[in-house]
Amino acid sequence: MELRYYQKEALERAEHAIQSGAKKLRIAMAAGTGRTPVIAALAAARVKAGSRVLILSPKRDLCEQLHSMLDRIGVFVTVCTRSREYSGQDILLSTYMDVQRNGLTAVAGFPTIICDGIYFENAFLEEICLANHQAVYVGFTSSMSDKADGWFSNSKLIYRYTFPDAVKDGYSYQNKEFERIEAFCLHFLQKNGFDPLPEPPSQSSYGDLLVQKDGAEYLIEIKTYKRPRIPYETAYKALQQAVDCRLRSGCARDRYRLCLFLFSETDEALRRTAYEDHQILIADISNFIYLCRNDEALYNELLEAVPFSISSIPQRRLLAGAPFPDFPVLPPAAGTKGKISSDYAERLENCSPGRDHGAVRQYEAICSAILRELFAADFDIMKEQLETTEGLFRMDMVCSIKLTNRDSFWGFLKHFYRTNYVVFEFKNYSDEVSQNPVCITEKYLSSMALRNVAFIISRRGFDKSAQKVALKSLKEHGNLIISLTDDDLLKMLTIKEDNREPSGYLMDKLNELLMYAD
């Protein structure tokens, strides 16, 4: 297993500190930069030095990941969930909760204990570690603070590798939600004139990002959430953590300006409280939507980073009078209003209707591009030419609906039609679509696969027989099959260019269908 240079540095510093007699030490590495290989390599090195090793991790899947990595470097390891399994192995893996639940006596048998995710596990750590206060403890965390709470409060931070370090080194690790959001924040700040500082000063090491602009330094704390809106209590807890961490790290208000980036929507009252009482600026998802509204690249990066749909979230300015950070509104691209819909209208007009293979492929490509233009913010995945497992069906496009509220069109489909996936079929027919393509599309739908909604996009829409088959499928099987035409697509593009929500047009189409259903 080949380690990157900074992983080797972290490993070497840990081994040197242990050999020098250190009993508690911490290594801080930004999430996604590869703590797991360092933990595995350190455990293997300690075994080679004659020490048994217990590795504690917050989650079971992390234990399995470590297990696999240790196997690859030739170290036998058993994942343990019960105290009776602690017998004779050189390296044992467990979660904090497993150890607490199954008994703490086994902890006493290990001279080296490696603790991952120590920032989140303080509730368990102290009780666990008191069972073996003679061991060497190595804590791994993504928090960049010089100070720690609980058991590791008197530990020494021996190595730190930050997200800006990773960006500077050119390492790309965008496969995880937090890293995508953190990358977005860094790009957003850089586009607005902020420069990342190469290394956080020791007295101000709290925060996920440290940037500067016009002589002022800003500490940026980032909080991500799975839902588009969080309760007041959740946002207030994030604010309190920011206040507490600033106090612990000695971050002076007159030198370091603290910003809390919440990637969910929260109350304006809390944002005002944060600014007026603590001089902390909160920017939530609604603020970022507003600030990125005229920058297509940043807006697309934002919608790809968050795990939910942002289409129903209103745009909001930052608090009036807030003196920092000074985020200028990015200027709109010249001459873009109306251009997108007219470009696609021209492309559709130049695509000849009919069964010619080249024209069919061209029409599919145009429709796919329009759907991405309209609804990329609403879908996690937009997969073209998706074939089912046994190769029975090939669907033109299948999209996975992001987590969204029930009031939005896609949230309505997800909740009331129990669908996580939406099928899109493209028919470049010169005539109206007959019942046969609708019957074929119906076969693509499956309640077991959470795929109960389909749109058939065509040049002229359904004929009467196709409409009857679609209504029959709805009444008998609960499958929703909606017809859309070129005109519908172009109308929705115009709606989006007017900064309105195009899925509202689809809701009108659905209402029309349901109101006249028998």
Residue 112 bridge partners (DSSP): 53, 136
Q: H/E element holding 134?
A: none
Give me the pLDDT at residue 367, please: 92
pLDDT higher than threshold 90 for residue 338 = no
For residue 325, whether the previous peptide bond is cis, meaning omega lies within 30 degrees of 0, is yes
Work out the pLDDT band at 123, boundaries 50, 70, 90.
low
Task: Report which DSSP code applies to 148.
Answer: -
**CA–CA distance, 377 with 257 (Å, rounded to integer):** 32
Domain that holds residue 424: 339-515
**CA–CA distance, 201 with 210 (Å, rounded to integer):** 9
Residue 210 bridge partners (DSSP): 219
Domain boundary at 103, 126, 161, which? 161
Give me the pLDDT at residue 336, please: 47
Q: What is the residue-wise DSSP string for 47-104? A: HHTT--EEEEESSHHHHHHHHHHHHHTT---EE--SGGG-SS-SEEEEEHHHHHHH-S
Give me the pLDDT at residue 15, please: 95
Cβ–Cβ under 8 Å, residues 363 and 428:
yes
Give me the pLDDT at residue 467, please: 92
End-to-end C-alpha distance for the chain, whole angstroms: 65
Position 212 in a domain: yes
Query: What are the tens digits of pLDDT across the range 343-382?
Result: 889 889 989 998 887 788 889 989 988 998 888 778 877 8
Name the least confident of 143-157, 242-256, 272-286, 503-517.
242-256
Do residue 156 and residue 172 come from a single domain? no
The helix/strand/coil state of 336 is coil
Position 334 in a domain: no
Position 423 in a domain: yes
The CA-atom distances, in angstroms, between 152 and each of 31, 241, 359 are 19, 18, 66
Give me the pLDDT at residue 252, please: 47
Position 242 in a domain: yes
Work out the pLDDT band at 426, boundaries 50, 70, 90.
very high
Do residue 60 and residue 137 come from a single domain? yes
Mean pLDDT of 430-456: 91
**CA–CA distance, 385 with 375 (Å, rounded to integer):** 18
Do residue 280 and residue 401 come from a single domain? no
The helix/strand/coil state of 506 is helix
pLDDT higher than threshold 90 for residue 98 = no
Do residue 28 and residue 73 come from a single domain? yes
CATH code, domain carrying 504: 3.40.91.50
Position 319 in a domain: no
Domain boundary at 161, 178, 211, which? 161
Domain boundary at 305, 327, 352, which? 305
The token pair that represents 283 in the structure block? 């920017």
Do residue 219 and residue 80 come from a single domain? no
Do residue 105 and residue 10 come from a single domain? yes
94-103, 104-113, 409-418: range with highest mean pLDDT: 409-418
Do residue 119 and residue 180 come from a single domain? no
Q: Indicate if the alpha-carbon torsion angle 338, 343, 345, 346 is positive or negative.
A: positive
Residue 399 corresponds to which amino acid? Answer: C
Stronger pLDDT, 100 or 110, i.e. the higher one = 110
**CA–CA distance, 237 with 231 (Å, rounded to integer):** 10
Do residue 121 and residue 244 come from a single domain? no
Give the CA-trace dihedral at 149, 151, 156, 158, to 10 degrees: -90
With vertex at residue 384, the alpha carbon angle to CA 382 and CA 385, rounded to the nearest 5 degrees, is 150
Do residue 99 and residue 118 come from a single domain? yes
Work out the pLDDT band at 19, boundaries 50, 70, 90.
very high
Sheet arrangement for strand 53-57: 78-79, 91-95, 53-57, 112-116, 136-141, 24-29, 156-161
202-206, 376-380, 473-477: range with highest mean pLDDT: 473-477
CB neighbours (10 Å) of residue 229?
18
Q: How distant is the alpha carbon of residue 134 from its chain centre?
A: 40
Would you call 350 exposed, middle or buried from its count of C-beta atoms within 10 A (0-12, 13-18, 19+)?
A: exposed
The CA-atom distances, in angstroms, between 72 and each of 1, 35, 48, 364, 396 are 7, 16, 16, 45, 40
With vertex at residue 183, the alpha carbon angle to CA 179 and CA 187, rounded to the nearest 5 degrees, is 175
**What pTM did the predictor assign?**
0.47
CATH code, domain carrying 171: 3.40.1350.10
Position 330 in a domain: no
Do residue 186 and residue 130 come from a single domain? no
Position 316 in a domain: no
Do residue 93 and residue 142 come from a single domain? yes
The half-sphere exposure of 150 on its side-chain side, counting CA atoms within 13 A, is: 17
Domain count, the chain: 3
**CA–CA distance, 386 with 423 (Å, rounded to integer):** 10
Task: Report which DSSP code applies to 162.
Answer: -
Position 324 in a domain: no
Do residue 474 and residue 408 come from a single domain? yes
Query: What are the tens digits of pLDDT across the range 378-401?
Result: 887 788 887 765 556 788 999 988
